[in-house]
Amino acid sequence: MSIETPPHESHVPTHREAEPIPDPGLPPHHWRPTDVDPKAEKRAERQIAAMFIAAMISAVLFVVAYFSFEVGDNWDTFAGMGASTVALGVTLGLTLLLIGIAIIHLARKLMSDVEMVEMRHSAASPPEDREATIEALNAGLDEAGIGRRPLVRNTMLGAVGILGLPAVVLLRDLAPGDELDISKLAHTIWEPGMRLVRDVVGTPILASEVEMGDLINAAPEALFPTEENGYEELHGAELQVNKAKGAIIIVRMEPENIIPAKGREKWTVDGIICYSKICTHVGCPISLYERTTHHVLCPCHQSTFDLADHAKVIFGPAARPLPQLPLAVDEAGYLVAQSDFTEPIGASYWEREKQ
Amino acid sequence: MSVDTSKVATSNRTDAATASKPGPAGSLASWADDRLGLATMMKKNLRKVFPDHWSFMLGEIALWSFVVLLLTGVFLTLWFTPSMGEVTYEGSYDQLRGIGMSEAMASTLHISFDVRGGLLMRQMHHWAAMIFIAAMMVHLLRVAFTGAYRKPRELNWVIGCVLLLLGTLEGFTGYSLPDDLLSGTGVRAADGFMKASPVIGTYMSFLLFGGEFPGESIIPRLYIVHVLLIPGILLALIAAHMLLLVYHKHTQWPGPGRTEQNVVGFPMLPVYAAKAGGFFFMVFGVVALMGGLLSINPVWKFGPYDPTKVTAGSQPDWYMGWPDGALRIMPSHLETVLFGYTISWNVLIPILLLPPMMLVILMLLPFIEGWITGDKRDHHLLQRPRNAPTRTAVMVSLMTFYGLLWAAGGNDIIAIKLHASINQITYFMRGAVFLGPALAFWITRRWCISLQRHDNEKLLHGYETGIITRSPEGQYAERHLPINEKTAYTLTARERDEVFTVGSDTDAAGVAAPNSRSERLRARLSRWMYVHNVQKPTVAELEEAHHHAEHEAELAAGLDHPVDGHQFDDHRLRDTDDVPLRDH
Amino acid sequence: MRVLNRTAGRLSRHRRGPLAGLAVLLLGLLISGSLYTALAPAQADNQPSETDQVAQGKELFLASCAFCHGKNGEGMPTVREGYQVGPSLVGVGAAAVDFQVGTGRMPMASPGAQAPRKPVAFNDEETAALAAYVASLAPGPAIPNESDYSIEGLSDEEREEAISRGGQIFLTNCTACHNFNGRGGAMPRGGYAPNLHGVEGKYIFEALLTGPQAMPNFSNGNLSPDEKRDVIAYLGSIQDTPEYAGFTLGGLGPVSEGMFAWLAGIGSLVGAAIWIASHTTRSKKSKVNA
In this prediction, residues A197-221 reach a mean pLDDT of 93
Q: Is A256 a domain residue?
A: yes
3-state secondary structure B462-488: CEEEEEEEECCCCCEEEEEECCCHHHH
- Please tell me which residue of chain B has the smallest CA distance to A107: B271
In this prediction, residues A42-66 reach a mean pLDDT of 97
User: Distance (Å, rounded) from C-alpha A353 to C-alpha A187?
Assistant: 13
Domain boundary among the residues A127, A154, A174 is at A174
pLDDT in tens, A148-181: 899 999 999 999 999 999 999 999 999 999 999 9
Judged by CB atoms within 8 Å, which residues 298-317 of A form the interface with C? 299, 302, 304, 315
CB contact under 8 A, B422 and C277: no
In B, which residues are within 8 Å of C254 by CB distance?
Answer: 182, 297, 313, 315-318, 321
Domain count for chain A: 2
Between helix B389-409 and helix B411-418 the angle, nearest 10°, is 80
In this prediction, residues B151-167 reach a mean pLDDT of 97
Q: Do B411 and B429 form a contact (C-beta atoms < 8 A)?
A: yes
Helix, coil or strand: residue C129? helix
User: Distance (Å, rounded) from C-alpha B359 to C-alpha B164?
Assistant: 9
Confidence at residue A1, expressed as pLDDT on a 0 to 100 scale: 36
Q: What rounded mean pLDDT belongs to chain B?
A: 89
Q: Do B214 and A238 form a contact (C-beta atoms < 8 A)?
A: no
- Kindly state whether residues A95 and A50 are assigned to the same domain: yes
Confidence at residue A73, expressed as pLDDT on a 0 to 100 scale: 86
User: Distance (Å, rounded) from C-alpha A93 to C-alpha A153?
Assistant: 60
3-state secondary structure A249-276: EEEECCHHHCCCCCCCCCCCECCEEEEE
Residue C8 has pLDDT above 80, yes or no: no
User: Distance (Å, rounded) from C-alpha B141 to C-alpha B160?
Assistant: 11
Question: Which residues on adjacent β-strands are paired with residue A195?
Answer: A336
CB contact under 8 A, C214 and A290: yes
3-state secondary structure B369-398: HHHHHCCCCCCCECCCHHHCHHHHHHHHHH
pLDDT in tens, B396-423: 999 999 999 999 999 999 998 898 899 9
Environment class of residue C273 by beta-carbon count within 10 Å: exposed (0-12), middle (13-18) or buried (19+)?
Answer: buried
Interface test with A, best of C89, C217, C228, C239 (most A CBs within 10 A): C217
- Kindly state whether residues A316 and A234 are assigned to the same domain: yes
- Please tell me which residue of chain C has the smallest CA distance to A90: C246
Interface predicted TM-score (ipTM) of this complex, two decimals: 0.91
Q: What are phi and psi of C244, to 5 degrees?
A: -55, -25
CB contact under 8 A, A19 and B86: no
Residues in CB range of B206: below 8 A, 6 or more apart: A175, A179, A180, A182, B212
Helix, coil or strand: residue C197? coil
In A, which residues are within 8 Å of C283 by CB distance?
Answer: 30-33, 35-37
User: Distance (Å, rounded) from C-alpha C174 to C-alpha C160?
Assistant: 20
CB contact under 8 A, B342 and A351: yes
Residues in CB range of B170: below 8 A, 6 or more apart: B129, B226, B230, B231, B234
Q: Do C40 and C27 form a contact (C-beta atoms < 8 A)?
A: no
- Kindly state whether residues A221 and A106 are assigned to the same domain: no
Confidence at residue A248, expressed as pLDDT on a 0 to 100 scale: 96
- Chains near B with 3+ CB pairs less than 8 A apart are A, C
In this prediction, residues C140-163 reach a mean pLDDT of 89
In this prediction, residues C43-70 reach a mean pLDDT of 79
Helix, coil or strand: residue B501? coil
- Kindly state whether residues A167 and A195 are assigned to the same domain: no
Domain that holds residue A290: 183-354
Residue C26 has pLDDT above 90, yes or no: no
One-letter amino acid of A109: K
- For residue A165, is it left (φ>0), alpha (ψ between -120 and 50) or beta? alpha
- Kindly state whether residues A342 and A232 are assigned to the same domain: yes
In C, which residues are within 8 Å of A216 by CB distance?
Answer: 222
A211 touches chain B (CB under 8 A): no
Confidence at residue A3, expressed as pLDDT on a 0 to 100 scale: 41
Domain containing residue A281: CATH number? 2.102.10.10
Choose the weakest-confidence range: B304-318, B465-479, C245-259. B465-479
Q: Do B187 and B412 form a contact (C-beta atoms < 8 A)?
A: no
Confidence at residue B577, expressed as pLDDT on a 0 to 100 scale: 46
Q: Is A126 a domain residue?
A: no
Q: Do A130 and A54 form a contact (C-beta atoms < 8 A)?
A: no
Task: Quote the minimal CA–CA distance from A20 to chain B in Å.
Answer: 4
Cis peptide before A126 (omega within 30 of 0): no
Q: Do A118 and B8 form a contact (C-beta atoms < 8 A)?
A: yes
DSSP C48: S
CB contact under 8 A, C248 and B298: yes
* CA distances in angstroms from B316 to A154, A239, B185, C177, listed in the order given: 48, 26, 9, 18
Residue B520 has pLDDT above 60, yes or no: yes
Q: Is A266 a domain residue?
A: yes
- Kindly state whether residues A160 and A201 are assigned to the same domain: no
Q: Is A271 a domain residue?
A: yes
In this prediction, residues A221-250 reach a mean pLDDT of 93
Confidence at residue B579, expressed as pLDDT on a 0 to 100 scale: 43
Task: Quote the minimal CA–CA distance from B558 to chain C in Å.
Answer: 36
CB contact under 8 A, C216 and A32: no
- Please tell me which residue of chain C has the smallest CA distance to A298: C176
Q: Percentage of chain B with pLDDT > 90?
A: 72
Confidence at residue C191, expressed as pLDDT on a 0 to 100 scale: 86
- Chains near C with 3+ CB pairs less than 8 A apart are A, B
- Counting runs of H as helices and runs of E as strands, what totals does chain C give? 14, 4
- Kindly state whether residues A195 and A164 are assigned to the same domain: no
CB contact under 8 A, A291 and C211: yes
User: Distance (Å, rounded) from C-alpha B116 to C-alpha A91?
Assistant: 14
Q: Is A99 a domain residue?
A: yes
One-letter amino acid of A13: P
Residue C247 has pLDDT above 80, yes or no: yes
Confidence at residue C28, expressed as pLDDT on a 0 to 100 scale: 56
If one counts every other C-beta atom within 10 angstroms of the C-beta of residue B481, the result is: 16
DSSP H/E element including B50: strand B49-50
Task: Quote the minimal CA–CA distance from B82 to chain A in Å.
Answer: 15
In A, which residues are within 8 Å of B215 by CB distance?
Answer: 237, 240-241
If one counts every other C-beta atom within 10 angstroms of the C-beta of residue B499, the result is: 15
- Kindly state whether residues A217 and A333 are assigned to the same domain: yes
- Kindly state whether residues A164 and A210 are assigned to the same domain: no
pLDDT in tens, B21-68: 668 888 998 999 999 988 888 888 889 999 999 999 999 999 999 999
User: Distance (Å, rounded) from C-alpha B497 to C-alpha A72?
Assistant: 66
In A, which residues are within 8 Å of B113 by CB distance?
Answer: 71-72, 75
CB contact under 8 A, A33 and C288: no
pLDDT in tens, A7-49: 443 334 444 456 888 899 998 888 999 999 999 999 999 999 9
- Kindly state whether residues A84 and A222 are assigned to the same domain: no
CB contact under 8 A, A243 and B307: yes
Q: What rounded mean pLDDT belongs to chain C?
A: 81
Strands C76-80 and B476-481: unpaired
Environment class of residue B493 by beta-carbon count within 10 Å: exposed (0-12), middle (13-18) or buried (19+)?
Answer: buried
CB contact under 8 A, A217 and C285: no
- Kindly state whether residues A160 and A274 are assigned to the same domain: no
Q: Do A218 and A199 form a contact (C-beta atoms < 8 A)?
A: yes
pLDDT in tens, B221-272: 999 999 999 999 999 999 999 999 999 999 999 999 999 999 999 999 899 9
Give this prediction's pTM: 0.89
A84 touches chain B (CB under 8 A): yes
Task: Quote the minimal CA–CA distance from B200 to chain C in Å.
Answer: 31
In A, which residues are within 8 Å of B207 by CB distance?
Answer: 171-172, 174-175, 180
pLDDT band at C5 (very low <50, low <70, confident <90, very high): very low
Residue B498 has pLDDT above 80, yes or no: yes
Torsion of CA C261, C264, C270, C274, to 10 degrees: 180
Helix, coil or strand: residue C214? coil
Q: Do B479 and B564 form a contact (C-beta atoms < 8 A)?
A: yes
The residue among B252 and B482 whose pLDDT is bigger is B252
Confidence at residue C35, expressed as pLDDT on a 0 to 100 scale: 44
Q: Is A307 a domain residue?
A: yes
In A, which residues are within 8 Å of B537 by CB distance?
Answer: 20
In this prediction, residues B490-511 reach a mean pLDDT of 74
User: Distance (Å, rounded) from C-alpha C40 to C-alpha C54?
Assistant: 15
User: How many contacts does A have with B, using Cβ atoms within 8 A?
Assistant: 408
Residue B562 has pLDDT above 60, yes or no: no
C-alpha distance across the termini of chain C, in Å: 80
Helix, coil or strand: residue B218? helix
One-letter amino acid of B458: K
Task: Quote the minimal CA–CA distance from A277 to chain C in Å.
Answer: 11
One-letter amino acid of A195: R
Judged by CB atoms within 8 Å, which residues 104-163 of A form the interface with B? 104, 106-108, 111-120, 122-124
Between helix C225-240 and helix C156-173 the angle, nearest 10°, is 100
Confidence at residue C110, expressed as pLDDT on a 0 to 100 scale: 78
Strands A272-276 and A288-290: unpaired
User: Distance (Å, rounded) from C-alpha C233 to C-alpha C239?
Assistant: 10
- Please tell me which residue of chain C has the smallest CA distance to B318: C258
Residue B504 has pLDDT above 70, yes or no: no
- Kindly state whether residues A156 and A229 are assigned to the same domain: no
Question: Which residues on adjacent β-strands are paired with residue B512?
Answer: B506
CB contact under 8 A, C288 and A36: yes
Residue B511 has pLDDT above 70, yes or no: no
Q: Is A137 a domain residue?
A: no
Judged by CB atoms within 8 Å, which residues 13-42 of A form the interface with C? 30-33, 35-37
- Please tell me which residue of chain C has the smallest CA distance to B101: C168
Residues in CB range of B541: below 8 A, 6 or more apart: A20, B460
Q: Percentage of chain A with pLDDT > 70?
A: 95
The residue among A51 and B582 whose pLDDT is bigger is A51
Question: Which residues on adjacent β-strands are paired with residue B252?
Answer: B381
Between helix B103-113 and helix B118-145 the angle, nearest 10°, is 100
Nearest CA to C49 among C29, C63, C64? C29
Cα A180 from chain centre:
24
pLDDT in tens, C264-281: 999 999 999 999 999 888
CB contact under 8 A, A291 and C214: yes
Confidence at residue C13, expressed as pLDDT on a 0 to 100 scale: 39
3-state secondary structure chain A: CCCCCCCCCCCCCCCCCCCCCCCCCCCCCCCCHHHHCHHHHHHHHHHHHHHHHHHHHHHHHHHHHHHHCCCCCCCCEECCEEHHHHHHHHHHHHHHHHHHHHHHHHHHHCCCCCCEEEECCCCCCCHHHHHHHHHHHHHHHHHHCCCCCHHHHHHHHHHHHCCHHHHHHHHHHHCCHHHHCHHHHHCCCCCCCCEEEECCCCCECEHHHCCCCEEEEEEEHHHCCCCCCCCCCCCHHHHHHHHHHHCEEEEECCHHHCCCCCCCCCCCECCEEEEECECCCCCCECCEEECCCCEEECCCCCCEEECCCCCEEEECCCCCCCCECCEEECCCCEEEECCCCCCCCCCCCCCHHHC
CB contact under 8 A, A213 and C218: no
* CA distances in angstroms from B414 to A91, A213, B429, C115, listed in the order given: 35, 29, 12, 20
User: Distance (Å, rounded) from C-alpha C205 to C-alpha C229?
Assistant: 7
- Please tell me which residue of chain C has the smallest CA distance to B306: C172
Q: Is A339 a domain residue?
A: yes
